[in-house]
């Protein structure tokens, strides 16, 4: 176990770009790939890199995240490994909530301080990637860096969406936030393969390694009023300290908004996805659930789909979908390009009888439904003959039952759609 480094995972703010998925849960607690939570990604990357002392910083809707981490990441009593939640708290000397990424870490330094380390790894809680952080740490040491920034090569089209770094021989010389013009001055040597793909700009991934002593000094003294790493701490440090670039060339996706989240989930259904859930050397860990196998009743056609354990599929057609745990899909229903998050529980036979008698749809998807281009949050009750058609023809909207963002229909957690309900037809 690596004792020389501590990991700090930033849970993010209110998660407004992922609303309504963040209406009742924090961003790191949002379900992904049918059975995981977003926070499982950075935690798993750390565990796979033999870095098993982690703090997760949260402020909004953290109850479900706390429960998930408590039920998932349990280590031996003889181990020094831990994953601890550090929620924003008001104290006599600091009555304010987290004001940004750097301020969040600053306010938690008193909890981090008792744990010895030479380095601190700062991570985001809303990204999808598989990185060997040991390789990043070796790069940091070999270059004698004070700070290392994980970077990824991007094209000219993508560059305006990121903070762009200019590096020479692996050392960052300058930084610009989301440049809209003058990109010719920001070209870096990203290597022959990346150059052949037109990826000649280095974007910050929002992942940093700091020498511990410097991090404490920056946050408590030199930059004690700076709230954010990407916008303030890093740009202000480039000309004062040795800031190295660690170039990563694998799959990485910032899934902080609904469209990116939707696309990233559906991309997992590709025959050979860029993000490989089946790579045992980069396993994604999550809460173990004692659920039965998937059950298919009748003739069901499934194409390019991930179907999580405990699901019951009744003579349906499922095309390019992610089906979450304990999902139920009714007979003759058609689901396409949809992420069905699943359910937190099964309805008992008694509750099913009561629901049918009252005319309430059962939990899950009813019969003869047609659902396309949608995210169905957990514990929804979709009646029979419901039609949902997401796409660019829909304007953004938000109401009690669902929201539409960039053409993606998001059925809100626990929503009840009556028989014959229609969206986008």
Q: What share of the chain is helix, strand, coil (3-state, %, to 5)?
A: 25, 30, 45
pLDDT value, residue 171: 93
Q: Give the predicted TM-score (pTM) of the model.
A: 0.93
106 or 342: which carries more pLDDT confidence? 342
Per residue in 354-364, is it b (16+ CB within 10 Å) or e — as a string?
Answer: eeeeeeebbbb
Nearest to 423 by CA among 359, 363, 375: 375
pLDDT-based confidence at 13, cuts 50/70/90? low
CA dihedral (179, 181, 182, 187) positive or negative? positive
pLDDT value, residue 390: 96
- Tell me the pLDDT tens digit for each residue of 308-322: 999 999 999 999 999
Give domain limits for the chain.
5-267, 289-423
- Tell me the pLDDT tens digit for each residue of 64-104: 888 899 889 989 888 889 999 887 665 556 656 566 788 88
User: Which residues are CB-neighbours of 1 under 8 A, at least 6 positions away?
Assistant: 50, 52, 79, 80, 81
pLDDT value, residue 126: 83
* Averaged pLDDT for residues 402-417: 97
- How far does CA 374 lie from the centroid of its chain? 18
Q: What is the CATH number of domain 5-267?
A: 3.90.550.10
Which homologous superfamily does the CATH classification assign to the domain defined by 289-423?
Answer: Hexapeptide repeat proteins (2.160.10.10)
* Averaged pLDDT for residues 200-220: 94
Give CA–CA dist 73/43, Å, rounded.
Answer: 9
Give CA–CA dist 3/79, Å, rounded.
Answer: 11
């Amino acid at each position: 176990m690596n004792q020389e480094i501590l990991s700090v995972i930033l849970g993010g703010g209110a998660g407004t770009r992922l609303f309504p998925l963040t209406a009742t849960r924090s961003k790191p607690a949002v379900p992904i790939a049918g059975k995981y939570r977003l926070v499982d990604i950075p935690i798993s990357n750390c565990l796979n890199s033999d870095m098993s002392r982690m703090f997760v910083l949260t402020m909004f809707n953290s109850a479900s995240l706390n429960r998930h981490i408590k039920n998932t990441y349990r280590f031996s009593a003889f181990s020094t490994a831990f994953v601890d939640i550090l929620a924003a708290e008001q104290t006599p000397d600091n009555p304010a909530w987290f004001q940004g990424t750097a301020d969040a870490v600053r306010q938690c330094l008193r909890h981090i301080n008792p744990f010895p380390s030479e380095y601190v790894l700062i991570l985001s809680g809303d990204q999808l990637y598989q990185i060997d952080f040991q390789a990043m740490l070796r790069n940091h040491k070999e270059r004698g860096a004070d700070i290392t920034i994980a970077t990824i090569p991007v094209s000219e089209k993508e560059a305006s969406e990121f903070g762009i770094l200019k590096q020479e021989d692996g050392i960052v010389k300058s930084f610009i936030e989301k440049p809209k013009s003058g990109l010719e001055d920001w070209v870096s040597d990203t290597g022959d393969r990346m150059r052949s793909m037109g990826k000649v700009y280095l974007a910050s991934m929002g992942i940093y390694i700091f020498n511990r002593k410097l991090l404490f000094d920056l946050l408590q003294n030199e930059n004690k009023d700076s709230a954010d790493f990407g916008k303030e701490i890093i740009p202000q440090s480039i000309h004062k300290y040795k800031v190295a670039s660690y170039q990563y060339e694998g799959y990485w996706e910032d899934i902080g908004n609904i469209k990116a989240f939707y696309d990233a989930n559906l991309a997992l259904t590709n025959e050979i996805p860029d993000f490989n859930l089946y790579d045992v050397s980069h396993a994604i860990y999550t809460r173990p659930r004692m659920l039965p196998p998937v059950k298919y009743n009748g003739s069901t056609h499934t194409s390019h789909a991930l179907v999580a354990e405990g699901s019951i599929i009744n003579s349906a057609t499922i095309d390019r979908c992610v089906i979450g745990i304990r999902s139920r899909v009714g007979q003759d229903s058609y689901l396409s390009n949809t992420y069905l998050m699943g359910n937190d529980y099964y309805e008992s036979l008694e509750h099913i009888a009561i629901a049918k008698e009252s005319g309430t749809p059962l939990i899950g998807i009813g019969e003869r439904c047609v659902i396309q281009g949608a995210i169905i949050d957990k514990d929804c009750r979709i009646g029979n003959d419901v039609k949902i058609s997401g796409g660019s023809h829909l304007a953004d909207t938000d109401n009690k039952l669902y929201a539409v963002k960039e053409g993606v229909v998001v059925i809100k957690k626990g929503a009840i759609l009556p028989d014959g309900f229609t969206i986008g037809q």
